[in-house]
Structure formats: C-alpha cells, structure tokens
Structure 1
C-alpha cells in the first residue's frame, strides 16, 4: 500500500515528523518499506504560463518562450522540451533558485538570453517522467508558489501489509492505527447523503447468494466527462502509485484509496435493463478493460445487463475488472456508479487464473468493510457533482441481510490482559487505545465488552483484542522475561550425523548452500519427467509456483542456471530441504479426508564449469561424474556409510553417466538413497543451460545414520598386498566384482582398490581388464604367503563363478 503523507495527515493530525511517523507505522506492524521525499527545496519555483513560443534562430530543437508569472512582465526563457507551446502552464525555476542541486542563473543559450528554467517532473524530484515539461492545469494561477499549489513538500510512503490487515488498504484504515499510536483522533468523515434530483435509476438483482450480499449504485446524468482531474486529486493519486487517466475513472480510484472500497463507473447509456449480479456461465466470455477477452466458468461472478435480448450480457468481471463495452469515455454523459461487497472466497484465486492483478481484486481477496458500498457511492457522487456537474438519481441498494457479516461483542478481561502480556496496562489507556481504533467499549465487572468496527473482521476473540493492545501500547514496552522452571537438556545422539556437520562437509568441498522455493512450475516438472504423484496447490501465488516440489534438483538447477546466465563460469551449490509427494491413494479410507502429503528430507548438489578453482599450477578440466562421486563419497564417509553405484534408468539422467546410489554397510540390508550423474542432454537443452551439469539428490535420513563409534586397537602385524588383473565382460560393473571379492576374502580383507582399467590390444573385443589390489591384515598374527595365496585362490574362484572373470594372461 502506497500513499501520500500529506493525505494521511489530513485525516489524522499529528505533530510527529516524517521519520517519527514512519517509525511509528513500522512499530505498530505496518512495516514501512520505502519513503520517497517529494518537493523538498522548491523555493523559487513558481507556476508560469507560456504566452508565446518561437523557434530559436540558431538551434532547431530550442524554442524561445515568453512566460507570464503574474506580474505583467513576461520573462524570456529558452527551452528544449518537446511539449513547450503557447498556452501551456508549467513550473518555472526563477533565477537565484536551485533545482536538483543546480543553481539557476541568467544565461545566454546560442546567443539568446534566458532568465530561468522551465522544469520537468523529474527535474523537480516529483516523478520519473523526463519526457517534457510538467503540465499543470490550465487554471493554475500564474506566479503562485508551485509548492503551495501542489501541496508540497510531501512524501510517498509504501508499507508492507500482512494479509490480516485488509482494513489498512485505505488512508482511513491507516489513520485509525496512527491515531491510536500517537494519541490523536481521526478527523470525522462528513459524507452527507446526496438527495436525488430526478428519478433515473438502475434496478439491481442479486443472484449470487451469499457471495455478493450487497450492491449499491446510482445514476448521475449530464456529467461533463471531459473535465480535467483537479490537481489536488491527481497529485494524491500519483503519490499513491496511481496514474491519473480521466476524471470519472480517477474518482473511483480516489474513493478506493481513501475509504478502501473498490468502485466502478459504467457508461449508463451502454447498459440496458436491470443490472444483474450472477455466477458466470460455463464458456461465457467478457472483454475486459485491458483489452483481453476472458473465458469464464461458474466459479466467476459477473455483472450483467439484458442487452442482446433475453440472454444477459456480462459487462464486468465481478470484484476484479470492468468491461470494455461499458467503460466511461470522454463522450460519456450519463454514469452509473457501483460499489458492492464481494466476499473473499468469491474472489480468491480468480485473478491469478486469468493472469490478472488488480487493486480491486487484491482488496476483495483480503476482505472489505461490508458497510462501505453506500458510503462510497455517496462520496463519489459528491465529488462528481462538485467537479463535473450532473444530476443525481436516487441511490439504489440491493441487500441480502441474512448473508451480511455481523459484528459481535467480545469480552475483554483485565486479568487476562495482564496474564498474556505479562504487564499491567491502565484501564484508561486500554479504553483510549480501543476507542481510538474505532471500537465501541463498555465497562463490565471484570473488564470490558468491546465491539469492533465492521472493517476489523480480523478481530474475533479476546486474544485479538490483547494483540491490538500490545501492538499499540508498544512491544518495546513489554519487558523480556526469561522462562522459569526445570529444563531438560537433551544430548545429541551419536548415532546420527548432524545437519550442521553435513553442511560443513559440503562447504569444505567448495559448495555454497542455496535455498530455493518449495513450489515449482508444473511445466518444469514435465521437463524433468517428475510430474507423477505431485501435490498441486489449491491457491498458488502464481503459475510458476503452483506445485509442491517432488525433488530438490529442479529448483537447485534453476539457481545454477541463473548464476550461469550472469557469467559465473564455475558454480557449485547444495541444498538441504523437504520434498513433497501425494499420499498413496491405495491407503485412503473411504469417507476420511485424504492424507497429508508425504514429506521427505533430502540433500542435493549441482556443479558445472571447471573441476577446480582457476589457478596456474594445473590445466583446467570440466567437472564430471567422478568428481561429483568423490564429493558424495566424502560426505558418506562422515557417517561411515558404504555406497554402491548401479546404472540408473532415471529419464532426466544422461544414459551411461548416471547411477542409482545405495547404502550397504556390510550387512544383508541395503537402502536406495537416490541418484547421481549428469543431466540428460535433452533436459539441459530444454532448460537452456548451455553447460553440462552433474548433480546428486539423496534421501537424507538414511545418509545421516551412523554406527555408534567404538574404539579398536590397531593391528600390530604388517599388511600384505596382492595385485590381480581380471578379464571380464565389458558390461560387468566394478561394484559387482568388488562385492564378490569382499565376500570371498572375509574379514582379513582390510581394503580393496581398483587401480587400472584397460581395453585394447591383448584383451579380446567385448571385454575389459580390471586390476585390483587386495590389502590383507590380521589382528592376531602375521599372515604368511600360504595364507595370502589361499585367499587369492578363493577370490579368483568366486569371481570366475559369479562373473566369468579370468586372470589376465
């Protein structure tokens, strides 16, 4: 929510300066994100009217202007702005003033005297527009101080609102909080009903039930739609982040910002028959104000009329945007103003389904005061009559009273306040705060009976009132108290590797930790062949965040791609996080709600570019599968895990360069941890990576498990090594040979290493030679040559039997 500081002060007078006001807003929960000062240092800048403009004799792009500043003595100004012309009213910085740090002096430009500078909005620090002079209304008084005329200095303040504070999407809503925090009072809003001057009216029919329980409207005839928006209104809109468009449109925007009630203005002459608020029909289409045509279904609501025969025509998308066919233009003479109460559940998610974001939809999704529609129509009517003239008809209001929200009374106990906050607040202060927030307060035996205003539908229970007291009284005034009582200190288990240790291990291997969104785009998962059993969100923030992630890698690779696109040649990232999968439908019990998604803690890492950091001592080479495998094995070693790698069939993995990872710690059980390898070239192309990416993703819980550390004595006897070279089929994996060799050798085998792989001359086609070293050692005695030879014979026989391996000749 962005608003003008001066506009807010017109509703809640306070002596607090700008910094104090911003600090107060943040302290009471309305976090100030940005304060932009406007119009500081405009002394010497006046309103000026160009009475004549002629081409500069020595420069095609310059004009020599005669400017009236109200004293009867025109000034000569040389100006290069493309919109400089006779009759234009614009700001003039007089000689001796300073604009943007530049002192204005009399000067000669190409031989022609210039006595000041006509200014753009950017030069004055009022806007980013530097395309031409700031055009002021034609009736602006020449010679008047620009600061006084535009209500400057001012500031544009932007606050970040939490979803529960929908009431603060308006100047009036913010004013109540400021008044309570600064011991002030909100200026009463005097909006007297506008009496009807003719019988022109539109009948309103509500056919959407509880979704639209109130709709107010009024016809105003003979309006001058060409009248310019007054400077005071246009400036307040600009400083609130809204571009003025035309007076009739600007009035509805102004009322929305001030009161919080979205409105719409229809061209009355383009409407026929009664106005009907109803659910949209399946396949119904409506052309919106932004030019797009939306296809609707029964979940949407529309405002319709009867043009085109008995079939009602949708003329607006309810609670979101008006229609193109009935919009107001400069040719509009008769206007139909509408303001309705759309409940949040009727609007939530509808804009995102159409790829829209509107101020009206944003407010209705969070909730709008149900008592505002009539007030907003009366206020807009008064503004139109005062500025553009016209003849008002009667205000028409359709209401479904049974479906309107009702404000209840809440009991507030002083003892409960003291217990929850840990401090006592004086009764007078409690009553002052609540009344300043617009609540009705009546004393009761042990406290008060409090009735919140209709705009504060976020207040429903006693604790909500206590939260308001804490917020306004000041969180900094509530002392910090250390909890008392006995505390149980739980020592970390030695059988589990801590996440901190896992992070340290990967950081030591030159990885950086990343945190990616837990939501991803559905189309992205299709590219990863991971769209099965996913968990879609019922109300996603955007189409790009519509599905809960089933893997960490899509988000992590996206982070890598962003770094690569910014000329990062070597990227190494890891992430610890949770993935989500749909619960097994086979386990669902009829009549029982579906089980919550299955959450799995996982760890993933990605790398691209050079294997090592750039340096002069070694030639650069690209990172590959074996580099990533080494990083993973070092991580597994921290928990004492023994890993096995087997060819993988994952569709997103490169064939022949990816593997499934298993944990086998010497017992009969084994656990599949996840996947490691290079991404498939098709996936890399689809993601527009431009580099080869190697990665792994594993379940974290099995990897964290480690055996209880036990101290063992080192053997006092020397080890014995035997090297063997076997010829096996080219498709026989090393992991299978190693497993057979370990089983055959037994506990005397302390280590097994692969030190050579060969294919070529001397080895027949379709085979390969693998050379391994067996390191043997016994704790009880020195192994003899006979012991080693016997063990080697067992290994040779076992490998021959299991894998048709033979000793290389």
Structure 2
C-alpha cells in the first residue's frame, strides 16, 4: 500500500509501462531515469511511483498534507522481479512483491488502513475505486498417496494428510487414494504436487521420516580412454605437424584421387575449384605438400583430422590422414641422410594403433591392396579382424607426374572411431620362470609375406610360445632366385614351471612341419 498527497496529483492515476525519456525523483531523493521495461504508477502528467518498489517524492505525504489518497495493488511477481535491482534499490515493497502477495488482500488492507486513520486523525472517507484485470486462478493440484510414499519413503495416514493441508489453509477434496488441492492465494510457492509433499514433510517432521541408504547395482562400462588429443600427440611426437584444410575441394583432383566414391556437389560453390565436399582428406594435404615443395621445403610430415563426406545416404565420417615425404631424419651430423620409405610410415601407423587397448584382443593386420591414387605395389589396407580401418601407400607415379611432386610421397588415412575404442584392462600375472629363445631361419617364396609366416607359427605352436619376432630378411648368395630367407626368434615361457629343452624342441618341430605344409617353407641350414 502507498499513500499519496491528493492535492499533488494531476487528475486520476493509472498503471502503465514507462515511456522513453521519463524520470522520477523517489522518496529517498534519488532521481532515476526509467526504462521502457519498468511498470509505473502515473497521474495524467508524470510518473508518481515505480510499481511495487517505491513512490515519488513529489506526491509523498508531508506534515502539511490534509488529503490522502491510498493505493493498494497486486503486481505479478514476474513483472516486478528484478526491477528494484536494475536501479540499485532494495525496499520492503519489492521484497514482498517479488515473492508474491495475495491478490485478495487489497480491499481488506484498504479498509483497515482507513479505519486506523479515522481512529487516529479523524476525517471523512471517500469511495473506494477498484480496478481489476483478469487474474490467473489458483491452480488445482492433484496429490497422490503413491507419490507421497515414493518421495518420503513412507505412507502418511489419510486423516493426517487432510489435517495438515487444511491447517495450512488449503481447500481439499478427498478422492480415492488421492486429493484435489487448491492452495490459498498467497502461497505462490505451491504450484505442483512435489510442493504439497514438501509441506507434508515439513509439518510431519523431517526427523520422523525414515532414512535409507541408497542402493544400486552398477556395472562398470568401458570408456573411450583414447582421445583425439592423444592421437594427435603421438603424431606430433613422431615429428608430424598438423594441417587444417578446406572441406570444399576441386572436383577434377578429387576424381583422380577417389573416383570410386560418389561426392556431394555444392549448389553455390565459392569457386569452381571448391565445388565439392571432400571424400578424402588427401586432397588438401597434397595441395599443402605441393605449396611447400615449391618453396624448397623437401622434408614434409603433415597430418589432419576432419570429416569426409559421401553422397550415398549423405554420410560423414571422422578421419585422420597424413602425408610424408623427404628424409627420415632432419639434417644432422650424427646420421647420414636416408630417404623415407613405406615401412617408416607403417611404423607411425602402428604407433597410432597401439594406443587403442582393443588391439590387445584383436590383431591389426596389413594386407596388400589397390587404390586409384596409390602405387599398385606399395599399398596396404589395414584391418582389425574383418573391419576395414584404413589404407596407406605411396602416391601413384602418374599422379606424382601430374601434380609435379617430388617423389617419393606416402599417404595414409584411417577411421578415427575404431582408434578411440577401448576395453577395460584386465590383470594378467607375469611368470616368475625364465624364458627360452630359439631362432630359426626358413626359406620360402618371396611372394609369401612375413605376416603369413608369423600367423602360421602362432597357430601351430602351443601356449608356451609367448612371442615371435622377425629380425632378418635375406636374399642373395645361398638363396635361390625368387626365394627369401626369414630369420625368426621364438620365445617360450611357462607360467607354472620351468620348460625343458625337449619340450621346446617338440614345439619347434611342429612349427617347422606346419610351415612346410602350409607355406612350402624349408628350414635353412
């Protein structure tokens, strides 16, 4: 409620939003410039109060006031909320209105204030002018006994629920296992069923509610421990630098690099050489390499992570790709310069694959493959089981000539999703018994890959074989043309006892016989 000096008012009063440029001097003698979001009370000329916050000094009651105009209003909390803080004010009125007051108390308050004035100072009473807009009705909330038990952990007697709500001034209609509840108009804090249950708990007594420790049956799930940052760090540590290129590429170059994948054409390309979405990250990397080689940068090791796009089903997939050319090491006095080769790039990829703990259970393998952009004799596809992971190889000679690159140039591209997969590590005890190593050299066709030989050894040996390592490849004197000699170290160890030489000799015999039968290999003497 606010009291105005009636003689200082110009005509009647109205409640409206402030207009641009209006200002008011408040009762605390502070002048504020009003914004258009402020609700005010005004007479026919100027603002006389900020609604729900503070009245104006010019219309305030003084010692000489003879006629008083009383105003009592209800303002919606969301309209008044924050208004006082915008002007650096904090008043009792704003505190109350922001939290909500009953819209049914205004007439009672006006009658009470009038009665007090008549008792204290006397005078004559004017008529009450009441203006009411449509107010939102008090909500009717359904309260369920099942919900009470779920939230409080125990059921409350029907009579107790009705008694508590009635004593709180709420109108209730009991139904079967539920109640229809209408809170009093001044309880703006009660809007949903949970609010009613909170009131029941408060009156019933929090100390009287049962306390139960939460119980749950949790199962550990593997998390993707390999992050993109970890993958990038491995390549940076191996002397790569990250590149970022456009996803829009030259259609002609893309057709030469990846003719088998249908690309997505742009409706409004920036330029003709950026008219398609890339189907491989190699396009941007090759252009960066060409730019560097034309500026006498002959040792280049770059990688990029990003999306590739396919027209089929509008697919997009996260990939990591790299390009390598030049020498194995930067120029230095400690080692002579050696050109990069296929197996250097393969070692970099194996370092990436080793990050994924999924590789502990599933072996990654490199198999000969073909690709339109790669050399037919220096291309390998990468698989984990039967899942295609990526590809690497030397750039095709015709493409090297077309782009005027300095050979050799090696490319690789891998899917990121499989690299980030992981499994929860499992403990395995280390044997306390010594190991036994035996080296064998086998002669076989040069067309047979070392991976085939190692797989054959692992399949034919017993569980005492814990590792086999290829440490030498030889072709020359003593080995027939079209043949090669592979030297392989076999390491044996048992977890419960010492192995004997006779046991190891038996396994070696099985391995040699299997190699001879399946791969046509002969033991070199």
Please report the TM-score for the alignment, with normalisation by the length of structure 2: 0.56
Give the SS at the match of 1:535. coil
Match of 1:559 among 288, 297, 322: 288
Matched, 1:648 2:369: yes
* CA deviation map 1:354-409 (0-9, x unaligned): xxxxxxxxxxxxxxxxxxxxxxxxxxxxxxxxxxxxxxxxxxxxxxxxxxxxxxxx
Give the SS at the match of 1:690. coil
Matched, 1:638 2:355: yes
Matched, 1:609 2:338: no
Match in the other structure for 1:525:
254
* CA deviation map 1:664-700 (0-9, x unaligned): xxxxx43221111211111111111123211211111
Aligned partners of 2:249 and 2:275 also within 8 Å: yes
Q: CA deviation at 1:561?
A: 1.6
Give the SS at the match of 2:466. strand
Change (3 A) 1:417 1:747: farther
Match in the other structure for 1:660:
381
Match of 1:512 among 237, 241, 253: 241
Q: CA RMSD in A?
A: 2.8
Matched, 1:679 2:395: yes
Change (3 A) 1:545 1:417: farther
Aligned partners of 1:417 and 1:424 also within 8 Å: no
What is the alpha-carbon distance in structure 1 between the residues aligned to residue 519 and residue 80 of structure 2?
Answer: 78
Aligned partners of 1:522 and 1:531 also within 8 Å: no
Give the SS at the match of 1:789. helix
Match of 2:515 among 799, 802, 806: 799
Aligned residues: 314
* CA deviation map 1:181-205 (0-9, x unaligned): xxxxxxxxxxxxxxxxxxxxxxxxx
What is the alpha-carbon distance in structure 2 between the residues aligned to residue 698 and residue 682 of structure 1?
Answer: 24
Aligned partners of 1:726 and 1:806 also within 8 Å: yes
Aligned partners of 1:525 and 1:531 also within 8 Å: no
Q: CA deviation at 1:708?
A: 1.6
Match in the other structure for 1:731:
447
Match in the other structure for 1:576:
305
Aligned partners of 2:390 and 2:414 also within 8 Å: yes
Change (3 A) 1:492 1:612: farther
* CA deviation map 1:702-736 (0-9, x unaligned): 12223321232221111111111111111111111
Match in the other structure for 2:489:
773
Match in the other structure for 1:163:
none
Listed as ranges, the matches of 1:275-674 within 5 Å are 494-530=223-259, 532-583=261-312, 595=313, 597-640=314-357, 641=359, 642-663=363-384, 669-674=385-390
Change (3 A) 1:523 1:778: same
Match in the other structure for 1:276:
none
Aligned partners of 1:726 and 1:805 also within 8 Å: yes
What is the alpha-carbon distance in structure 2 between the residues aligned to residue 536 and residue 721 of structure 1?
Answer: 59
Aligned partners of 1:606 and 1:696 also within 8 Å: yes
Aligned partners of 1:514 and 1:573 also within 8 Å: yes
Change (3 A) 1:512 1:418: farther
Aligned partners of 1:527 and 1:686 also within 8 Å: no
Aligned partners of 1:728 and 1:806 also within 8 Å: yes
Change (3 A) 1:418 1:494: farther
* CA deviation map 1:38-61 (0-9, x unaligned): xxxxxxxxxxxxxxxxxxxxxxxx
Aligned partners of 2:222 and 2:423 also within 8 Å: no
Change (3 A) 1:746 1:581: farther
What is the alpha-carbon distance in structure 1 between the residues aligned to residue 337 and residue 440 of structure 2?
Answer: 34
Give the SS at the match of 1:716. coil
Q: CA deviation at 1:424?
A: 7.1
Listed as ranges, the matches of 1:217-256 within 5 Å are none
What is the alpha-carbon distance in structure 1 between the residues aligned to residue 79 and residue 378 of structure 2?
Answer: 65
Highest Rg: 1 or 2? Answer: 2
Unaligned runs of 5+ in 1: 1-414, 426-444, 446-490, 584-594, 664-668
* CA deviation map 1:221-268 (0-9, x unaligned): xxxxxxxxxxxxxxxxxxxxxxxxxxxxxxxxxxxxxxxxxxxxxxxx
Give the SS at the match of 1:721. strand
Aligned partners of 2:356 and 2:421 also within 8 Å: yes
What is the alpha-carbon distance in structure 2 between the residues aligned to residue 569 and residue 717 of structure 1?
Answer: 51
Match in the other structure for 1:755:
471
Give the SS at the match of 1:510. coil
Please report the TM-score for the alignment, with normalisation by the length of structure 1: 0.37
Aligned partners of 1:606 and 1:695 also within 8 Å: yes
What is the alpha-carbon distance in structure 1 between the residues aligned to residue 309 and residue 439 of structure 2?
Answer: 48
What is the alpha-carbon distance in structure 2 between the residues aligned to residue 417 and residue 633 of structure 1?
Answer: 64
Aligned partners of 1:725 and 1:769 also within 8 Å: yes
Unaligned runs of 5+ in 2: 1-76, 88-132, 134-219
* CA deviation map 1:124-177 (0-9, x unaligned): xxxxxxxxxxxxxxxxxxxxxxxxxxxxxxxxxxxxxxxxxxxxxxxxxxxxxx
Matched, 1:688 2:404: yes
Q: CA deviation at 1:496?
A: 4.1
What is the alpha-carbon distance in structure 2 between the residues aligned to residue 751 and residue 582 of structure 1?
Answer: 45
Runs of 4 or more, structure 1, over 4 Å off, are 415-419
What is the alpha-carbon distance in structure 2 between the residues aligned to residue 531 and residue 546 of structure 1?
Answer: 18
Change (3 A) 1:718 1:506: same
What is the alpha-carbon distance in structure 1 between the residues aligned to residue 330 and residue 466 of structure 2?
Answer: 34
What is the alpha-carbon distance in structure 2 between the residues aligned to residue 697 and residue 747 of structure 1?
Answer: 35
Aligned partners of 1:418 and 1:424 also within 8 Å: no
